[in-house]
Structure 1
Amino acid sequence: MLLATFKLCAGSSYRHVRNMKGLRHQAVLAIGQELNRRALGGPTPGAWINQARRRSSLLGSQLEDTLYSDQELAYIQQGEEAMQKALGILSSREGWKKENQQANGDTVLSKVVPDMGKVFRLEVVVDQPMERLYEELVEHMEAMGEWNPNVKEIKVLQKIGKEKVITHELAAEAFLSVRCTKRRGSTCVLAGTATCFGEMPEQKGIIRGEHGPTCMVLRPLAGSPSKTNLTWLLSIDLKGWLPKTIINQVLSQTQVDFANHLRKHLESSPAPDARC
């Protein structure tokens, strides 16, 4: 029911400036440099968070030759900022309270974040290699509704380069998201936030919830590379669909249910060829 989503309507600049190739490349460089500066200014994170934050800027991989439109650059910046903010929240170990712990070790923590409210953090170990989880959660995200009963549909509306997509998710509520994926070394981060998309305006009678920022972090379990540590940061606003007290009561169980559905799906279906 609750997958990552987020919100932004891009600004504009003078048309003759927007059409200049050099300035577009400069804009991409400036975004990456600014995000790097912000990431380095945050609290001291754990080793894997530190690695992810250092490598999650636009300059973490070689820039493609493709020239992005103004709207695409806005989505790129939005996804990068959501990733940095989510990793910043995860990097802080203070203030987390245990909400739910299962016999198998699955744990849900929560904390209150200024300007965001209550956020939830799922920590699980999945008995599958990281490549398998990446395949299911990124490459096959549109098939999630087939194994997760809380999701009716996920549809990719637009791809932006290799690491950004705009998605529409349908559950008890609808979500529109920009998703940012970074795979650097042994760590993979899947981040997202609510967005605006001109070809998918809000529809009368359908509540559009908002997430953000949220992210999943995948990394091999230390000493057991055939297993994966999965961390899921979840922040959600259902826009009046349910009282917040009710939402907070079910969110931790929703995350636990997701882990159980994911494990069941991975165990019952053959592993596809890794394309990572």
Structure 2
Amino acid sequence: MNSPEDREYNRERVDHEPTSSVHIDGDDDESTALLSPGISPDSRTGHVSKERRTFCLFTLFNGIFIVMLWLIMVSIKSSQTGISYTAVVLEEVIQTDVSKTSFDIIWLAIFRATVLLLAYAACKWKCRFPVASTTCITSGYAFFKILHTDEQRATQRVQNQHNLHVRQHQSPRGEHPPTQEDDFHSLSEFVDGMDEGDYDLDLDLEDISHLSNEERQYVQQGEDAMRNVISMLGMESVWNKEKSRDDGDVYTLIGPNNMKIFILKMSLLCPPEVVYEEVMLRPERMPSWNRAVIDCQVLMRIRDHTLVTYDVSAGAANGYVKPRDFVNVRRIEKQGQRYISAGMSTSHEDKPPSSDFVRGNNDSGGFIVQKNSEQRNACSFIWILNTDIKGSIPRYLVNKSLAEIMFAFASSLRQHLKDTHTQHRPSSGAVPRQSRL
């Protein structure tokens, strides 16, 4: 038997030794991990600490919060632009230019949340590498996006400044006499020597000093469109080629509000005077050879080479896309070796918006016919299309179709000129009647 002293000694040992039934909580796990480096306490016991759960929940909610903010932003954009919510979402998702979309931020949020949850919830890592790496990647991309967006805005500011510079240095016609070849010449001056009746230039109905206030406004709008078109021609070095075909090349230029301006450039084996008459002087004839236009009316002719026209474009997709109608003011000038017909949307009391069509809007654009200095019987033709067809069609779908519309126009114009230009009697120095396109 043990003596009383031995029994007392054994009792003290039992009191100081831990029993197997004691529960090891998270704090004890962390203490054990200090004694066993490289071994995760969570993987040893299967227990997820309170701090780890909090971090994972914060990561998940952070990703959901970013998605919610993006959806709110899309809703605001839809209400401001008048485009349907679904169309805005599709445009954001498909858009590849990081300066024009915010959907890439959603991908970053999903990527970061996925990596962190896999690392700290599924694999129960203890190292800080997943946090550091995802932070560097997302921060680096955000920095790149900011720089790229600033670069795009800087380019736009340069273009706007260039436009302003051109407007400030172009004096209105009549303030000083023309002294250079590129100054304004009247249409009648350019066609001196043509046989009478070949090209009807009867644009002058009354003296400009007797114009009404409405007519003066149309003239001013036409002059503004002319200045903008000339400015865009001066920026040809920054045109971006979109597509190229036998009929010509289509370029784009980023305009105000990041709207794409489409530019068709083609060569024609035809005297510029013929193209000038067929396309610029008589726009009401266009529906006879251009299937994309179903109606074109001249509502008003003003002496200062200004016309107000009403145009209706054909529908598409078996009636799914309704026809669009436009009321445009156009100004026609001869400048040096080129003709310019510049225009933009306006309003006229005889053609209010109708439920039969969707009223579209054209910003400054038009046609330019440039005499070819190398080929006597050839010319260059440029069509600047700066349009917003309105309606609910997503803008990216419109942009994809505009190039095809321009190529179709080019093909129709070539065929029309082949069929008609030999009917005109050429002036002195012009190509013979039997020359071919």
Using structure 2 for the length normalisation, give the TM-score. Answer: 0.48
Which of 208, 212, 220 is matched with 1:77 structurally? 220
Cα RMSD, aligned residues only: 2.9
Whether 1:246 and 2:389 are equivalent positions in the alignment is no
When structure 1 is superposed on structure 2, of 87-96 and 146-155 the one drifting more is 87-96
Shift in Å, 1:261: 0.4
Give per-residue Cα distances to partners, 1:20-69, cap 9 Å, x unaligned. xxxxxxxxxxxxxx99862449xxxxxxxx976x5389xx99x9465111
TM-superposed deviation, 1:239 = 1.0
- Residue in structure 2 matched with residue 138 of structure 1 by the alignment: 280
- Equivalenced residue count is 229
Give 3-state SS (helix, strand or coil) of 1:86's partner: helix
- 1:25 is aligned to none
Match of 2:424 in 1: 272
Q: 1:149 aligns with which of 257, 278, 291?
A: 291
- Partner of residue 265 from structure 2, selected from 123, 129, 139: 123
Q: Which amino acid aligns with 1:161?
A: R
List alignment gaps of at least 5 residues for structure 2.
Answer: 1-163, 172-179, 191-205, 314-322, 428-437
Q: Does 1:177 align with 2:328?
A: yes
SS in 1 for 2:352: coil
**Matched-pair identity in %:** 25
Q: Does 1:109 align with 2:251?
A: yes
Q: Which of residues 161, 168, 174 is equivalent to 1:38?
A: 168
**1:55 corresponding residue in structure 2:** 184
Most deviating of 188-197 and 86-95: 86-95
Q: Secondary structure at the match of 1:224?
A: coil
Task: Tell me what 2:309 maps to.
Answer: 167
1 CA distance for matches of 2:365 and 2:181? 18
Higher helix proportion? 2
Normalising by structure 1, report the TM-score. Answer: 0.75
Q: Distance in 1 between matches of 2:426 and 2:328?
A: 25
Determine if the alignment matches structure 1 residue 67 to structure 2 residue 67: no
Q: Which residue identity does 2:302 align to in structure 1?
A: I
**Residue matched to 1:86:** 229
Greater mean deviation of Cα atoms: 213-222 or 95-104:
95-104
Confirm or deny: 8 A CA contact 2:290 2:412 kept in the other structure: yes
Kept after mapping to 1: 8 A contact 2:280/2:367: no
SS of corresponding position for 1:148: coil
| Structure number with higher relative contact order (C-alpha < 8 Å, ≥ 6 residues apart) | 1
**What's the secondary structure of 2:424's corresponding residue?**
coil
Amino acid aligned to 1:159? R
Which residues in structure 2 correspond to 1:225-244 (within 5 Å)? 225-244=376-395
CA contact (8 A) 2:251 2:262 kept: yes
Once residues 51 and 239 of structure 1 are traced to their aligned partners in structure 2, the CA distance between those partners, rounded to angstroms, is: 40
Residues 1:110 and 1:200: Cα distance change in structure 2 (over 3 Å): same
Deviations 1:211-230 (A, max 9, x none): 11002111111221211111
Distance 1:117 1:204 in 2: 26
Indicate the structure (1 or 2) with the bigger Cα radius of gyration. Answer: 2
User: Does structure 2 conserve the Cα–Cα contact (< 8 Å) formed by 1:116 and 1:235?
Assistant: no
Question: Per the alignment, do residues 258 and 51 of structure 1 end up closer, same or farther by CA in structure 2, a change over 3 Å counting?
Answer: farther
Gap runs ≥5 in structure 1:
1-33, 42-49
